[in-house]
């Protein structure tokens, strides 16, 4: 039976320092060399994921930006990208401006990712920006107003704020049938939530289904910790939540495994394959 194992990164496979432990790197490489099919599904872009996974000999395509993109690490190209429909993009840009929302906009043009922001007036946004620039050398471009991007091939918006400030926007955007949305608490910053917006055809669920067909898979096993992993769980045949996962995800899991700080995913995989 051809089985693919897919893990979320932040809060699941990664340590709190946003790195893979030596044990996880060593274990994954040993298992992959022995024939294990392993991939990741994350909200991150290739700019940071490429650096995070550089020591793991991955051969399978990976799921980026909560399913907006599927990326081939071997050939360094996007296999699949879901763009926001133009008419919805216009409405979304106006809504963001009218409600003075802050965050980052992403576009892919000619196979290259561009990331835009208006300002870094909040500490969480500044921390997000500085981590990716300093640690991963990710390029960002500042624009005066997101509405300048109305003709750009936008794929994703990531808005950051306290939950109560994003609740009403989440409700409004949920009424747009053309949109997909994830709304979840940040793993690293207390009281900060992410509201991420993309095409309805883009989600970890749709991305997993694409890989199931593309790789001719018989079985998919997944690992996660947060609300944005719910679509990943829905698309998989077997679901495991790390012990530090949110209760909502644990309720959907077939089993609870060790936490991310205990190398829960790598330890589980090693025990299963031994």
55 contacts 21 by C-beta, under 8 angstroms = no
| Beta strands 255-257; 219-224: pairing state | unpaired
pLDDT of residue 91: 87
pLDDT of residue 75: 94
* Mean pLDDT lowest among 2-11, 49-58, 85-94, 221-230: 85-94
Q: Calculate mean pLDDT across residues 23-29.
A: 98
Which secondary-structure segment (H or E) carries 249? Answer: helix 247-250
pLDDT exceeds 60 at position 274: no
Q: Residue 74 has what DSSP assignment?
A: T
* Mean pLDDT lowest among 86-90, 138-142, 150-154, 237-241: 86-90
- The torsion region of residue 196 among left (phi > 0), alpha (psi -120 to 50) and beta comes to beta
**Tokens 């939530």 appear where?**
193
Q: Calculate mean pLDDT across residues 203-224.
A: 96
Contacts of 23 (CB under 8 A, 6+ apart): 263, 266
39 contacts 235 by C-beta, under 8 angstroms = no
Q: Please classify residue 2 by burial: count the beta carbons closer than 10 Å to its beta carbon, then call 0-12 exposed, 13-18 middle and 19+ buried.
A: exposed
Percent pLDDT > 90 in the chain is 80
pLDDT of residue 189: 84
The mean of the pLDDT values for the chain is 94
Domains, the chain, with CATH or none: 3-81+203-273 (3.40.50.1000), 86-199 (3.30.1240.10)
The candidate with the shortest Cα–Cα distance to 69, out of 52, 91, 47, is 47
Cα(138)–Cα(130) distance, rounded to whole angstroms? 9
* Mean pLDDT lowest among 46-55, 188-197, 259-268: 188-197
């Amino acid at each position: 039976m051809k089985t693919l194992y897919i893990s979320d990164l932040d809060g699941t496979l990664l340590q709190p320092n946003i790195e893979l432990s030596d044990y996880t790197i060593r274990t994954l490489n040993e298992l992959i060399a022995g024939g294990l099919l392993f991939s990741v599904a994350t909200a991150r872009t290739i700019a940071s994921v490429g650096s995070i996974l550089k020591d793991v000999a991955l051969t399978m395509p990976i799921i980026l930006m909560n399913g907006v993109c599927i990326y081939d690490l071997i050939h360094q190209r996007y296999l699949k990208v879901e763009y926001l429909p133009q008419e919805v993009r216009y409405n979304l840009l106006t809504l963001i401006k009218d409600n003075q929302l802050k965050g980052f906009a992403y576009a892919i043009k000619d196979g290259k990712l561009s990331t835009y922001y208006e300002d870094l007036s909040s500490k969480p946004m500044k921390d997000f920006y500085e981590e990716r620039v300093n640690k991963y050398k990710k390029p960002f471009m500042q624009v005066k107003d997101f509405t300048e991007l109305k003709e750009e091939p936008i794929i994703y918006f990531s808005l950051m704020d306290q939950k109560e400030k994003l609740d009403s926007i989440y409700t409004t955007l949920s009424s747009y049938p053309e949109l997909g949305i994830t709304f979840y608490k940040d793993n690293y910053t207390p009281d900060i939530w992410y509201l991420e917006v993309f095409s309805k055809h883009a989600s970890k669920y749709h991305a997993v289904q694409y890989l199931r067909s593309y790789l001719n898979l018989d079985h998919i096993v997944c690992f996660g910790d947060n609300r944005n992993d719910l679509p990943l769980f829905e698309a998989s045949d077997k679901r495991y939540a790390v012990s530090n996962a949110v209760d909502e995800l644990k309720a959907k899991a077939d089993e609870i495994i060790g936490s991310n700080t205990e190398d829960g995913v790598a330890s589980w995989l090693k025990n299963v394959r031994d």
